[in-house]
C-alpha cells in the first residue's frame, strides 16, 4: 500500500498502473475511467441534469446543491466542468435551441422558411421557458447569432431591399427575444394547470379598471386578449415585420406623410 504522500506525488498525467503498490481500485486509470465513463462527471452530463431540473421544477430550482444531489457529487465538483451558474444556464440554453434549430425542415419558399425558423425558436422556448429568460438576459448568446443568420439568409430571396435587411433581421430577432421573455415570465407565474383564460382576463381588467371611462382600445380588444392563441399571434407579428420590410413605404393612408 502506497502512503498518501506518494499518491499525491504521482504526476496527474502519469498512469497509475505504473505506481507500485497502488490498490486495485485505483489501478488502470484508463480502464477504470472507461468502465465508469457512463456515469462519470462531465460538462455534458451536468448540462443534461440541469435541463432535467429546469424543465421539471423551473429556473429557481436549479441550485448547485440540488444539482450536486441529482448527480450524486459535491457542489464544488460541478465548478471543475462549468464556470458558474450563468455558464450552466447558457450551455443548457444552447443545447435546447441548437437541437430545435437543427430539426427545422429545409424549405424553398422564403416566407415559409422564416416562419419555420421563428416557430422552431418559439416552440423550443415554449417548452423550456427558462431558456427564453436566459436569452433575453444574454442576447449575444450563440443561439441568437444562429437565429439571426438563419433568418437573414432568406431576406434577399424574400425580396427585402438590401438596405433594409440588417434592420429587418434585427427587428425579427428583437421580436423573437421579446416573445421569449414574455413566455418565460408567463410560465414562471402561471403554474401548470392554471386557467389561462381567467388569468388573462384578470390582467386585462387590471389594465382597464384604473380609469373606468377611458382605455377604449383595451376595452375593444379585451376579449381577444383573453382568448388569443400565443403561437398564432407570434406568427402574425413575424408576418408584419416581413411585409413591412418589403413594402416601399406609405402603405397606410396615414403613412404617406413620410
Partner DNA sequence: ACCTGAACACCGTTCAAGT
- The residues of the shown chain that bind DNA, judged by CB under 7 A, are 4, 7-8, 12-13, 26, 40-41, 62-66, 72-77, 79-81, 84-86
Considering only CA atoms, give the Rg of the chain: 26
User: Near its own copies by CB under 8 A, which window of 4-12, 73-81, 122-130, 175-183?
Assistant: 175-183
Give the one entry of its own copies, DNA, none that residue 74 binds, where binding means its C-beta sits below a cut-off of 5 to 8 angstroms depending on kind: DNA
Q: How far are the Cα atoms of 1, 168, 206, 216, 227 from residue 222, in angstroms, in the given order?
A: 78, 30, 11, 10, 9
Q: For 105, phi and psi rounded to 5 degrees?
A: -70, 150
| Residue 131 sits in the site that holds its own copies (CB under 8 A) | no
List 14, 174, 195, 231, residue binding its own copies (CB under 8 A)? 174
Site for its own copies in 219-258 (CB under 8 A): 221, 224-225, 228, 233, 236-237, 239-247, 249, 251-255, 257
Torsion of CA 31, 32, 38, 39, to 10 degrees: -170
Tell the smallest beta-carbon distance from residue 136 to DNA (Å). Answer: 19
Closest to DNA by CB, 19 vs 98, is 19
CB atoms within 10 A of CB 10: 15
Give the one entry of DNA, its own copies, none that residue 241 binds, where binding means its C-beta sits below a cut-off of 5 to 8 angstroms depending on kind: its own copies
List 53, 54, 131, 169, residue binding its own copies (CB under 8 A)? 169
Closest to DNA by CB, 115 vs 128, is 128
Task: Dig out the grid coordinates for 91 from the structure.
Answer: 450551455
Q: Which residues contact 237 (CB under 8 A, 6 or more apart)?
A: 175, 179
Site track 94-113 with its own copies (rule: CB under 8 A), x = hit:
---------------xxxx-
| Residue 83 sits in the site that holds its own copies (CB under 8 A) | no
Q: Which residues contact 115 (CB under 8 A, 6 or more apart)?
A: 235, 238, 239
User: Would you say how long the chain is, in residues?
Assistant: 258
**Under rule CB under 8 A, how many of the chain's residues touch its own copies?**
74
| Residue 5 sits in the site that holds its own copies (CB under 8 A) | no
Tell the smallest beta-carbon distance from residue 217 to its own copies (Å). Answer: 3
- Using CA atoms, how far apart are residues 28 and 35, in angstroms rounded to an integer? 10
Which of 79-107 are b and which e, b meaning 16 or more Cβ less than 10 Å from the residue's Cβ? eebbeeeeebbbbbbbbbbeebbeeeeee
Amino acid at each position: 500500500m502506497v502512503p498518501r504522500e506518494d499518491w499525491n506525488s504521482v504526476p496527474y498525467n502519469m498512469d497509475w498502473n505504473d505506481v507500485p503498490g497502488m490498490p486495485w481500485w485505483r489501478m488502470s486509470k484508463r480502464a477504470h475511467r472507461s468502465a465508469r465513463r457512463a456515469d462519470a462527471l462531465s460538462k455534458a452530463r451536468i448540462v443534461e441534469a440541469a435541463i432535467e431540473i429546469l424543465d421539471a421544477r423551473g429556473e429557481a430550482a436549479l441550485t448547485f446543491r440540488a444539482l450536486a444531489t441529482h448527480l450524486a457529487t459535491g457542489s464544488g465538483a460541478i465548478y471543475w466542468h462549468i464556470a458558474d451558474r450563468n455558464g450552466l444556464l447558457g450551455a443548457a440554453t444552447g443545447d435546447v435551441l441548437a437541437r430545435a434549430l437543427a430539426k427545422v425542415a429545409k424549405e424553398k419558399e422564403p416566407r415559409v422558411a422564416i416562419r419555420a425558423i421563428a416557430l422552431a425558436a418559439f416552440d423550443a422556448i415554449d417548452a423550456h421557458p427558462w431558456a427564453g429568460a436566459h436569452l433575453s438576459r444574454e442576447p449575444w448568446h450563440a443561439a441568437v447569432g444562429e437565429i439571426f443568420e438563419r433568418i437573414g439568409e432568406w431576406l434577399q430571396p424574400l425580396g427585402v431591399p438590401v438596405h433594409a435587411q440588417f434592420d429587418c433581421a434585427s427587428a425579427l430577432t428583437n421580436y423573437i427575444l421579446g416573445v421569449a421573455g414574455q413566455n418565460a415570465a408567463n410560465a414562471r407565474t402561471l403554474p401548470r394547470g392554471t386557467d389561462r383564460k381567467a388569468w388573462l382576463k384578470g390582467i386585462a381588467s387590471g389594465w382597464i379598471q384604473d380609469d373606468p371611462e377611458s382605455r377604449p382600445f383595451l376595452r375593444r380588444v379585451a376579449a381577444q386578449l383573453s382568448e388569443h392563441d400565443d403561437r398564432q399571434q407570434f406568427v402574425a407579428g413575424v408576418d408584419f415585420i416581413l411585409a413591412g420590410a418589403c413594402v416601399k413605404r406609405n402603405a397606410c393612408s396615414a403613412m404617406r406623410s413620410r
